[in-house]
Chain A
Amino acid sequence: MKRHLISAADLSREDAIEILDTAAELASVSSRPIRKLPTLRGRTVVNLFYEDSTRTRTSFEAAAKRLSADVINFSAKGSSVAKGESLKDTALTLEAMGADAIVIRHGASGAPHRLAEWVTGSVINAGDGTHEHPTQALLDAFTIRQRLGGPQQDGDGHRGTGLDGLRVTIVGDVLHSRVARSDVLLLSTLGAEVTLVAPPTLMPYAVSTWPCEISYDLDRELPKSDVVMMLRVQRERMTAAYFPTVREYRRRYGLDVGRMALMPSRAIVMHPGPMNRGVEIAADVADSSRSTIVEQVGNGVTARMAVLYLMLGGAEENS
């Protein structure tokens, strides 16, 4: 395992499968009477959040606490950052307090990469600008493997297998989505065939260099998809008009019951959350049995436990 987790591209297929296998084992912990393991006792994990987040921050917090690590939550609001402290000074301060790992969410793409150069502990990217969100990709991969990973060998949680041959369609605001980039990188590393579907205005620059297919027609892609992942329309990041009206976006790229009927019967619907019900996803689709949205939240804790365990649980490889 690497010392930092900045990008989904840092993970080889072996690394990714090791994380998924570890997560599969750790999943049983949440069903036990005592949902805690002593493994990271005495280690400190700092949640350094410069952007609002409920699910990712609480998910990392729950994951660290289930492994008995001490958790320090630090949000930029109401801290010295509001007084003008730089990222570097904040990081060095936190490290002087004994942080073994820093989980960072930042509005600027590349902030975790810079941070990793300044600190001696591990850095885990919990979302940077419109760049990446690798732990979200890991929990998505874990959810897909659990639901569609083929026949299990005596209940082994698909140990050692990737996502070979599965077709994943990612739909929506790819331009502003850090989840889309991480998902494309990780899922293709694991052998899935990924297709991005979005209005031309919401496709990122140089998307043709990504390891995936591009399409502008959702109805044509749905019948051949095993997984349909809807992305949130990130209006808070939109500085220009990317589509005429919400109604028009919904008509061409929103997932409603009629569109869901075009999908193969075993195909699943995913969404990284938070959802805009009625925009990219209809309420009855989000609440249907084919939607894994709530499952993804639970798997998020498990996948992050696996990452924390593998990064902090043992001695460093080079020591």
Chain B
Amino acid sequence: MCAMKPEQRYEARSGPGGSGGWKAVLTPEEIRRALSRIAHEILERTHGGEGVVLLGIPTRGVPLAARLAARIGEFEGSEVAHGSLDVTMHRDDLRLRPARALQRTEVPPDGVDGKTVVLVDDVLYSGRTIRAALEALNELGRPRGVQLAVLVDRGHRELPIRADYVGKNLPTAQREMVRVLLEETDGADSVVLGQQAAGEEADPR
């Protein structure tokens, strides 16, 4: 289903984060197509988006959730509810570093009870963020079902978690790093892959 031809996958393209060993693996155009496809898949799986709430996980899941909501609105004529869900207080690695500032949690006015919640994140890696998100969601109410949409699935899961909607499966080595850059947060869209510098800590995601 991916909009990209296989031989293009690792072709080096310099994106906005392209300097210093980063290479682009998804162009803005490809990100747009992947999100359109995910929006269609959500509509298909939820029978027209009835009772769907998109909750983005900060930082970059939030603009992705907003874009998906807008895209679904274009296709169906009615926008679906979207918001954000901060998972900081539920992370299992809190004790490993200094306390982090909290991000915003914004639940649509109708809440999540009885709704189909689609969690939206940029990169799916160990699965620990999603575990924290499931716990955080539990405190907000009792959704009818929970699904997961990610722009990039880079593998290396440490928990039994999988995504329902994937923009792109990106096979990576553990020492590689994947960054999603978005217009809203970074000035331009792209997904870049880089090598971890020696001594640098692994990306927590």
B105 is an interface residue with CB less than 8 A from chain A: yes
CB distance from A170 to the nearest CB of B (A): 30
- CB nearest neighbor in B for A18: B101
List residues of chain B with CB within 8 A of the CB of A99.
none
User: Across the interface, do A37 and B105 meet the contact criterion of CB distance under 8 Å?
Assistant: no
- CB nearest neighbor in A for B113: A33
User: Across the interface, do B104 and A316 meet the contact criterion of CB distance under 8 Å?
Assistant: no
With A25-B86, A39-B89 as given contacts, are A317 and B140 in contact (CB-CB < 8 Å)?
no
Q: Measured between alpha carbons, how far is A233 from B97 in the docked complex, in Å?
A: 44
List residues of chain B with CB within 8 A of the CB of A142.
none
A156 is an interface residue with CB less than 8 A from chain B: yes
Q: Measured between alpha carbons, how far is A182 from B158 in the docked complex, in Å?
A: 47
List residues of chain B with CB within 8 A of the CB of A37.
89-90, 139
B103 is an interface residue with CB less than 8 A from chain A: yes
A190 is an interface residue with CB less than 8 A from chain B: no
User: Across the interface, do A39 and B98 meet the contact criterion of CB distance under 8 Å?
Assistant: no
CB distance from A197 to the nearest CB of B (A): 36
A32 is an interface residue with CB less than 8 A from chain B: yes
With A32-B139, A33-B141, A34-B139 as given contacts, are A315 and B103 in contact (CB-CB < 8 Å)?
no
List residues of chain B with CB within 8 A of the CB of A1.
98-99
List residues of chain A with CB within 8 A of the CB of B86.
25
A208 is an interface residue with CB less than 8 A from chain B: no
User: Across the interface, do A25 and B97 meet the contact criterion of CB distance under 8 Å?
Assistant: no
The size bracket of the interface on B is 20 to 34
With A32-B139, A33-B141 as given contacts, are A21 and B102 in contact (CB-CB < 8 Å)?
yes
Q: Measured between alpha carbons, how far is A22 from B106 in the docked complex, in Å?
A: 14
- CB nearest neighbor in B for A311: B99
Interface residue ranges of A1-50 to B (CB < 8 Å): 1, 18, 21-22, 25-26, 28, 32-34, 36-39
Choose among B90, B99, B104 the residue that contacts A25 (Cβ–Cβ < 8 A): B104
List residues of chain B with CB within 8 A of the CB of A317.
98
User: Across the interface, do B99 and A310 meet the contact criterion of CB distance under 8 Å?
Assistant: yes
Choose among B99, B103, B105 the residue that contacts A309 (Cβ–Cβ < 8 A): B99
List residues of chain A with CB within 8 A of the CB of B138.
34
User: Across the interface, do B140 and A32 meet the contact criterion of CB distance under 8 Å?
Assistant: yes
List residues of chain B with CB within 8 A of the CB of A312.
99
CB distance from B21 to the nearest CB of A (A): 29
5 CB contacts below 8 A, A to B, read A33-B140, A38-B89, A315-B96, A316-B98, A317-B98
Q: 5 other contacts beyond A39-B94, A155-B106, A314-B99, with CB at 8 A cut-off?
A: A25-B86, A25-B104, A33-B140, A37-B89, A317-B98
- The 7 lowest CB-CB distance pairs between A and B, nearest first, are A314-B99, A313-B99, A25-B102, A314-B98, A39-B89, A34-B139, A37-B89
